[in-house]
């Protein structure tokens, strides 16, 4: 079992990764090291007075983009972005 704390500029929240999920993560991603960037899939647990996170899955950030992304949408402001910016993006 693992207990984690996630923090951003707005605050922090505690999370739990139960033993079965933790064992699956450890078996699948032995290369994960302390401090490495990771992506977490979770749901919010509101059963207690202070909400927490129940972590479902942990994967390396490098694996998250191809696995979890189906499309990317860019919205450009015509007053701020010239036609040259659009041409540069089309090359990407």
pLDDT digits (tens, 9 = 90+) for 5-20: 888 899 998 888 888 8
Range of the domain at 20: 2-67
Low-confidence winner among 8-12, 30-34, 61-65 (lowest mean pLDDT): 30-34
Q: Which residue has the higher pLDDT, 44 or 39?
A: 44
Q: Is the pTM of this model over 0.85?
A: no
Does the residue 92 lie in any domain? no
Instruction: Mark 26-47 as b/e (b = at least 16 C-beta within 10 Å).
Output: eeeeeeeeeeeebebebeeeee
Look at residue 70 and give its three-state secondary structure. coil
Domain tally for the chain?
A: 1
Q: Residues 43, 53: contact at Cβ < 8 Å? A: yes
| Mean pLDDT within 43-59 | 82
In a domain, 85, yes or no: no
């Amino acid at each position: 079992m693992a207990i984690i704390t996630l923090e951003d500029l707005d605050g922090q929240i505690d999370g739990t990764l139960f033993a079965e999920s933790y064992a699956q993560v450890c078996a699948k991603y032995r290369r994960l090291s302390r401090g490495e960037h990771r992506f977490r899939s979770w749901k919010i647990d509101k059963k207690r007075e202070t909400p927490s996170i129940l972590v479902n899955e942990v994967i390396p950030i490098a694996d998250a983009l191809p696995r979890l992304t189906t499309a990317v949408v860019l919205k450009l402001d015509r007053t701020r972005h010239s036609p040259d910016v659009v041409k540069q993006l089309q090359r990407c």
